[in-house]
Chain A
């Protein structure tokens, strides 16, 4: 049963520290998304990649957030420096070629708390 995996599942850190979240998409999926979920805003798209190329990161605060796909099996989302308002659940999702606009599978999320 193919799944998107994310690490770490939980992260507690102090303000100002760097946070790196990792995602392994489902094998064969060529589109990877990063979403953030908070009680206030709900689920928001931060950025996405197709064939490892960044296509849209307009939802991401540029000054502190960065997203990369060093290879087809790994996507990373980094926050530096982290702030308390970054506390949220960060979900990675992947989609198959040609269908990613319609079919996305979510990972279990990284629950981030910034103190």
Chain B
């Protein structure tokens, strides 16, 4: 299965600033996904990152707040823009594996604290 390198692993940011999170995969994958895990909560899908086209956002998430880039089949970034304390969460990227070994691998996450 794929190996994902996600960074930074954690950061403390001032409100009003932006943070860009990177995910590097060791193999080419069609789809990459970005999730948010708020404190004590489950994972919520932010968007699906498509190579060569705009990301597809889930209800409640917008491109202006969470712009995503997907320049090639092994790399993606998520930016959390104009941050507020409510954005304090763990952000994870994920990739889906093609059949027959169908499944998902997750990055180790970025723990973001906004002060």
A and B together in one complex:
no
A residues contacting B by CB (< 8 A) are none
B residues contacting A by CB (< 8 A) are none
